[in-house]
Amino acid sequence: MTTLAQPIEYRGKVINFTPANPKEADIPDEELHEHLFAPSTDRTRRLKGRCRWKHASAGEFVEKGTRAGIERMRLITESHKESRGKPEVIRRALQLAAVLTKGTVVVQQDEFIIGYHAEDPNMFPLYPELSYMNVKDYLQSDYSPQPAAEAEEINNYWKPYSLQSKCEKYFDPIDLTRMYQVSTMEAPSFAHGYNSIVPPYETVLEDGLLKRIDLAEGHIRDAKAEMSKQPWDGTKGLDWISKIDNWEAMVIADKAVIIWAKRHARLCKIVAENFETDPARKEELFEMAEISRRVPAEPCKGLKDAFQVKWYTYLICHGIERYASGYAHKEDKVLWPYYQTSVINKSFQPMTYADAVEMVEMERLKISEHGAGKSRGYREIFPGSNDLFILTIGGTNRDGSDGCNDMTDAILEGARNIRTTEPSMVFRYSKKNRVKTLYHVFECIRDGLGYPSIKHDEIGTEQMKYYAQFSLNGNGATDEEAHDWGLVLCMSPGLVGRRKTMKTRSEGGGSIFPSKILEITLTNGYDWSYSDMQLGPETGYAEDFETFEQLWDAFKKQYAYTISLVIRAKDVSRYMEGHYLQLPFVSSIDDGCMELGREACSLSEQPNGWHNPITTVVGGNSLVAIKKLIYDDKKYTMKQLMEALKVNWEGFEQMQKDFKNAPKWGNDDEYADAVIKRYYEEIIGGEMKKVTNYSGGPVMPVGQGVGLYMEVGSRTGPTPDGRYGGEAADDGGISPYFGTDKKGPTAVLKSVSKVQENQKANLLNQRLSVPMMRSKHGFDIWHSYMDTWHDLHIDHVQFNVVSTAEMKAAQKDPEKHQDLIVRVAGFSARFVDLPTYGQNTIIARTEQQFGAEDFEFLNLELN
């Protein structure tokens, strides 16, 4: 690296920061990350070279030729018409079976993990049974399924049956219009169709689907026997009807999945016997055919089985039965038994550690070309990303011991080698974690991937125990099960394993925008800067608030109205999902659903309610500035402030400077931190916690930015923190605003550590010095920082380690910087795929330089 960190005098020594890799001293800052791509095999190099990326930039797909397919729409529509009169859950199973038994199966050159969820790997499916508006959006775009006339006819057919139509009638048109503005709150999921799920992967890998079929058929026999008992008791006997329907739907779904896997096996065999000329690849195709012939019908035996079955399960749960984002599972734990068999014991599918790393690289590339038919709005808020594919590793086992193993290391090494944005990762940090694995975590972060993000292992485990007490059937997480958690999406922990996992995003998800809510609080609930309509209740005008507490109470009322509305929308959606959008395959692989005869969307054994405040810090800093300059110092009046905001500070330049220079979050400032601590705990978390969702538990905030901080920032007028109208808002749940954290990295930790009550999760972005992290002291600094972060009981942190010089070089010549990856919010993105507006927000983040005072606070020993 051309730029080296300046020496620091610390504890009587001069500490130099020479590069850990001496060869990097000659690499210019602006091209460092283009030297880090190191696939472990020629195969994964080729696979990345031809990867069909599905990333979007400013709402548009970056790869030409990407578009929606029609096959899934066509097949589920035919099935829906043919199954009139049957129970709805049976109809859903038959629709899945139609896609799996009649749809196109795909095997691509070079790949070992096979399967896709559309008729062409350049395509992705659409879901007219979810949202007719979302499909209409595609029909009016360059990505429309073809023939377009048939797709339009299918969408019109589904409109009255869609989740959107089922839910809309239960809301006042005014409230619907407010939700659809996406300014104080995100539009409801029944309108945009966005969803997430935590599939119970273990049951498929451990049991095989034939066992699941046997279980369901046994339950059906037992249920019919119970119904035949005399004397008849209708108060109990009628309950068996819906259960029998659910079990029958499970059988239909699982049989179809087995057929689907065997169709892949047959295709591999046909290609090997008739078309493949390379002897090595031919043998590999026969091996792939044998794997798909056995699994997922039978239990997995080796690591190759496990990767394939996990992928099949993922495709069905996330792309075929229904669209769902995420990649939620504890991957190292799921794969560890099969790693032991194949790599350590070599008793089935024998392989080396290097072979396991290659499997990880191949899986990452499969995820990278997975296509999601998200609405344009959602493509815009995940700039530079495909979708939120996030897996979990590390942490502790059920008995509290270190959960890291060699599979954890292989996952991290494969990610660092292949350099893809998907899937992202979270590492559950515990002081019990072995140093060997922590170094692999550090290497990924040091190399600029932006992941793993880090979650506090003990906090997540305690949250699982907390939510368990609200279980409606008294079967929440046990103390042992509470250790089995992974991230549902970007930030929220949820149970993983054989049961009690989150099956639909209506349990938790969606966003609320405090900065916009504060804006309309100042104008009696009216949005003057964007929608030109009343967005909330009438709570008074800013000029009439004589005290800060009056403003506080008005904001609290606006926030309470908004959070109740968005949670009500989720719960109505959840109710309709359980009645009309059932998930028979997901139900079949969940032990709770199987045991109780319940449908996956309907059953909730472990509540996990959360919602996502975005732009929180802009709102918090604004409250600090108002309190300081208007109510405490009385330097300005509220009338003057409102006049300045209405003209975007034009003509009020000194006033804007004063509000911008008011105390800001992230500097260990007593004044600012006291206001913002109260704001997070009393309003953001406190008002949210008063809401009870479908599952019977309280709703808690999971502050994360995704790309909405850009989108909502553009819809938010000037704010009292000194921000101009239209500028991006803050990029995390609790991150300091760009460039305002001026007191160093440990001051940020001190501020964040003060917020402890009523918070489920809050995203913290930190940008660290590249030359310092890549120096010989990099790991020791990071490790001490993480131990201090852990001791301060902070829930989350994630890092960018990319220089400003390299990001600006990529802006000028994007073709030369395709492998430059940055952390945006809950996801990483290829920098060149971000719109310039988004790129500049990353550049604007403070590049934290550690000084002697930081090292002292970390109690760091350096030689």
Strand-pair partners of 800: 767
Q: Could you list the beta-strand ranges (E) of 430-561.
A: 453-456, 485-487, 493-495, 508-512, 526-527, 533-534
Residue 578 pLDDT level (bands cut at 50, 70, 90): very high
pLDDT at res. 1: 58
What length does the chain have?
Answer: 863
Check whether 845 has a pLDDT greater than 70: yes
Region 648-668 average pLDDT: 98
pLDDT at res. 375: 85
pLDDT at res. 650: 98
Half-sphere exposure of 79 (CA within 13 A, CB side): 23
Strands 761-762 and 700-703: parallel
Region 333-348 average pLDDT: 98
Mean pLDDT, rounded, of the chain: 96
Cα–Cα–Cα angle for 581, 587, 588, rounded to 5 degrees: 135
Question: What is the fold, at CATH topology level, of the domain defined by 33-61+322-501+768-842?
Answer: Anaerobic Ribonucleotide-triphosphate Reductase Large Chain (3.20.70)
- 3-class secondary structure for 348-411? CCCCCHHHHHHHHHHHHHHHHCCCCCCCHHHHHHCCCCCCCCEEEEECECCCCCECCCHHHHHH
Region 443-471 average pLDDT: 97
Residue 380 pLDDT level (bands cut at 50, 70, 90): confident
What's the CATH architecture for 162-189+502-765?
Alpha-Beta Barrel (3.20)
Instruction: Give CA–CA dist 616/123, Å, rounded.
Output: 37
162-189+502-765 shares the fold of 33-61+322-501+768-842: yes
Residues ≥6 apart with Cβ < 8 Å to 650 = none
In order of 82, 334, 359, the CA distances from 200 in angstroms are 31, 10, 21
Region 182-199 average pLDDT: 93
Tens of pLDDT, residue by residue over 260-299, are 999 999 999 999 999 999 999 999 999 999 999 999 999 9
Domain-wise residue ranges, the chain: 33-61+322-501+768-842, 162-189+502-765
Instruction: Give CA–CA dist 495/329, Å, rounded.
Output: 9
Residues ≥6 apart with Cβ < 8 Å to 805 = 3, 28, 29, 30
Torsion of CA 207, 208, 212, 213, to 10 degrees: -150
Secondary structure percentages of the chain, helix, strand, coil, to 5: 50, 10, 40
pLDDT at res. 2: 66
Residues ≥6 apart with Cβ < 8 Å to 232 = none
Strand-pair partners of 523: 541
Tens of pLDDT, residue by residue over 660-711, are 999 999 999 999 999 999 999 999 999 999 999 999 999 999 998 788 888 8
Instruction: Give CA–CA dist 717/703, Å, rounded.
Output: 21
Tens of pLDDT, residue by residue over 703-746, are 987 888 888 999 999 999 999 999 999 998 999 999 999 999 99
Its pTM stands at 0.97
Burial class (CB in 10 A: 0-12, 13-18, 19+), 227: middle
Tokens 């696979």 identify what position?
Answer: 47
Residue 616 pLDDT level (bands cut at 50, 70, 90): very high
Residue 382 pLDDT level (bands cut at 50, 70, 90): confident
Tens of pLDDT, residue by residue over 80-136, are 999 999 999 999 999 999 999 999 999 999 999 999 999 999 999 999 999 999 999
Scored b (16 or more CB within 10 A) or e, 462-485 reads ebbebbbebbeeebbbeeebbbbb
Residues ≥6 apart with Cβ < 8 Å to 306 = 205, 300, 334, 335, 338
Smallest CA-to-CA distance from 711 within 140, 186, 196 is with: 186
- 3-class secondary structure for 667-684? CCCHHHHHHHHHHHHHHH
Give backbone dihedrals phi and psi of 530, rounded to 5 degrees, phi first.
-130, -70
pLDDT at res. 34: 86
Dihedral of alpha carbons 275, 278, 281, 283, sign: positive
Check whether 256 has a pLDDT greater than 70: yes
Instruction: Give CA–CA dist 478/474, Å, rounded.
Output: 11
